[in-house]
Amino acid sequence: MPSTSTTTQQGFVSTDDGVQLFFRVLGGGSAPALVCCNGVGVSTFFWEYVAQRFSGERKVVLWDYRGHGRSSMPSDGQRLDIPRCARDLGTILCELELDRPVLMGHSMGTQVALERYRQDPDNVGALVSILGTYGHPLDTFNDLSASSVVFDLLLHLSDRFPRGVDTIGKFLVSLPGGFDVARSLKMVDGDRMSPHDLSQYQRHLAHIGFPFFFKMVREIGEHTAEDLLASIGVPMLVVAAERDAFTPPHLSRKMADLVPDSRLVWLDGASHAGIVEQPERINEELCSFLGELE
């Protein structure tokens, strides 16, 4: 198994509305590329374990949504919704001339990958959902009946008082002991997750700013691809985590039940950060799934 990931290509590509999207290609080979779609507020760092495992045998493509990582921030008149993110993904695929890649999504990235399949099903070889849902995640957060009401309040406050929300948010993520708090609240599996992985996420949230983060949260809350699931005509791997509060695992089970050619994988004890808590298990299942595609 490769221990390092070598960048073979990186750069920026312009969208049809002028946003500059950053991408990086690791590895090479003739096997279908893995194209990794991030969660909301996340850059490419959560995919490093996947890249280390698979870049020795195929291309692994990492890219940043508009306003994330090294991609440019959209202006007020430019769209942020999931279909727009999926079209941005299409721009990346076209630039790299990828033929029927495997689209992988973590959290919000599942919605982006599903929407890209809707837009261009003939150029998708397979789908992988890691701790994601098909839509309306704000309605099911932690399986709380009032979750959508709570998020509506947070989104309203962010619209009304963006500077205050940004200041408070950046203060909270900069506090020492954030990992211990997340661990004690069982938001992450502290025995398996590295504090470094969580700190990368916290720094990135501060980088993009909380008003922008909440704008993206609103968009993922309004989107659904549930109507698409029964008509998906490519294999799909669905990874669920036992203690995922953000996208409860019964949503993954439902998605796997509705997609005709799908496999459900269960991560015992994992949280929504299971992608960096149990990377070896995910890579093992992904390896088996990819082997069946050949």
Residue 183 lies in a domain: no
Could you tell me if residue 194 is inside a domain?
Answer: no
Number of domain units in the chain: 1
Give the N- to C-terminal CA distance of the chain in Å, as an integer.
19
Q: Flag whether pLDDT at 3 surpasses 50.
A: no
Q: Which two tokens stand for residue 168?
A: 């408070």
pLDDT digits (tens, 9 = 90+) for 150-176: 889 999 999 999 999 999 999 888 888
The H or E element that residue 8 is part of is strand 7-14
In tens, the pLDDT along 57-82 reads 999 999 999 999 999 999 887 888 99
Residue 212 lies in a domain: no
**If you average pLDDT over residues 42-62, what whole number do you get?**
94
Helix (H) or strand (E) holding 24: strand 20-26
pLDDT at 91: 97
In a domain, 56, yes or no: yes
Q: What is the CATH number of the domain that holds 71?
A: 3.40.50.1820
Classified as helix, coil or strand, 154 is helix
Residue 80 CB partners (closer than 8 Å, separation 6+):
66, 67, 74, 215, 216, 219
Q: Is residue 251 part of a domain?
A: yes
pLDDT band at 277 (very low <50, low <70, confident <90, very high): very high
Range of the domain at 50: 7-145+223-293
The pLDDT assigned to 5 comes to 61
> Looking at the domain assignment, is residue 244 inside a domain?
yes
Does 35 fall in a domain?
yes
| Contacts of 17 by beta carbon, 8 Å cutoff, 6+ apart | 74, 78, 79
pLDDT (tens digit, 9 = 90+) per residue, 232-271? 999 999 999 999 989 999 999 999 999 999 999 999 999 9
Strand bridging mode 20-26 / 58-63: antiparallel
Query: Is 63 within a domain?
Result: yes
Query: pTM (2 decimals)?
Result: 0.94
